[in-house]
Chains A and B, each alone.
Chain A
Amino acid sequence: MKKHLPVIVSLMTALIAASILPAYADQHKKEDVSALIAEVQARLDTVRNGPSADIVRAELSKIDGTCALSRQLLSGGKIDEAYNEITLCNLYFMMIDARIDLQNAVLELDETKRNLSR
């Protein structure tokens, strides 16, 4: 058994290394992902200071969380995962637009009901 010890230990080290290290190189560049995060942050600040910030508070906090996670992944060297996270923010922005549109539609419906009941 003793003579197999170095083989077993080196095999296990290789397996652990394979499970921790990525199987392929990152497809995106760190600078590109950084720029995307900055872009999302700027867009987020615009929405936060806009008139509809109150009705999309939930989405804003989700984007905040996603941005923070993306930054964390990027600093940890997981560039592709950071990229995937930040792309989800685009969908959250679409959700913000949909929420505002719904709010407007409901307000218009209420106003029409009020007008017609007069």
Chain B
Amino acid sequence: MKKAPLYLLALFLVFTLAAHAAPKDDASQKVAEAESLKRSLGSNNELSAFIPFEMYSQASESTERARSLLGDGKYQDAIYYAREATIRFEIASLTAQARSARHQRMKLISNASSSVITTNPMMDAHFFKKGDVFRANVYDRQVFVVKKDHVYYTLSSDGKERLDRIIKVLATYPNYKLKIVGHTAGSDYNDYSKQKADIVAKYFFRKNISADRIEIIGLGNKEVMETHLGFRRVDRVEFILSAPR
């Protein structure tokens, strides 16, 4: 009877240790899993260029937090953050794979169109048939002057060359009508999208394209386009060519 409190104390210690050992093992395993995913994703040369930065950095942050909580003995919290990190790394990996596939596709299309020497002005101007119309996109940086990473809304010499190819299409198909649609990636301050379309249209008018054939539209950031990073809002001017009805 004298030793009863000691037995009770020993029983309590065994109970406490057993209760803490299981979550500790589980937490260590989960944190190790997250860290291994981080390493494998970081060392994947094929995907590293396509990993979404925000998702990856949030996952890395959660992994570090889980590791530190594990050190502090807060196993349940460590498990939660490690699980969160694992899911985020998996999302980052899936997104990177999708971006990589899109990048490959864009590369194939661009190689195919540049390798074919053609007398077809439609192909030279990169018009693609979509539904009943032909569409071509020209990025702001391809058509306007860029100085120190800033786009000035004045046509560059390269840009004029690109527009000349579209003018050639209009000359080849005199009955076709063209919509010039300005798009912005961010907010459409000062109606920039419309202003861009206007600048391009004025160049067309100077090249004797009738104003009846041209429609000028500013859509702002309402429409997305497919890029190798998925569907994105891009600063661009879109040309939509339609046959007479």
Contacts and interface: CB of A to CB of B under 8 A. Distances in A.
Contacts of B88: 91
Contact of B16 (A19, A81, A95, A113): A19
A99 interface: yes
The majority secondary structure among interface residues of chain B is helix
Contact of B94 (A88, A99, A113): A99
Interface string A54-94: 00000000000000000000000000010010001001101
B150 interface: no
A25 interface: no
Given A5-B4, A105-B101, A112-B108, A88 B87 contact: yes
Nearest to A81: B76
A108 B105 contact: yes
B9 A113 contact: no
A112 B109 contact: yes
Given A5-B4, A108-B105, A109-B105, A102 B98 contact: yes
A12 interface: yes
A8 B76 CA distance: 29
B87 A106 contact: no
The interface centre, meaning the residue of A9, A88, A105, A108 with most chain B CB atoms within 10 A of its CB, is A105
A101 B83 CA distance: 23
Contacts of B87: 88, 91-92, 95
A84 to B, nearest CB: 5
A88 B12 contact: no
Given A94-B91, A95-B91, A102-B94, A2 B102 contact: no
A9 B2 contact: no
A95 B102 contact: no
Contacts of B1: 2
Chain B's interface size range is 20 to 34
Contacts of B109: 112, 116
B84 A88 contact: yes
Nearest to A116: B112
A109 B91 contact: no
A1 B5 contact: yes
A16 interface: yes
Nearest to A15: B12
Interface in A9-42: 9, 12, 15-16, 19
Q: Which of A4, A16, A88, A91 has the most CB of B within 10 A?
A: A91
B104 interface: yes
Contacts of B117: none
A5 B16 contact: no
B91 A102 contact: no
B134 interface: no
Interface of B: 1-2, 4-5, 8-9, 12, 15-16, 19, 76, 80, 83-84, 87-88, 90-91, 94-95, 97-99, 101-102, 104-105, 108-109, 112, 230
12 contacts: A2-B1, A8-B8, A9-B5, A12-B8, A12-B12, A19-B16, A91-B87, A98-B94, A101-B230, A105-B99, A109-B108, A112-B105
Which 9 pairs, one residue from A and one from B, show the smallest C-beta to C-beta distance?
A98-B94, A105-B101, A102-B98, A105-B98, A91-B87, A109-B105, A8-B5, A109-B101, A101-B98
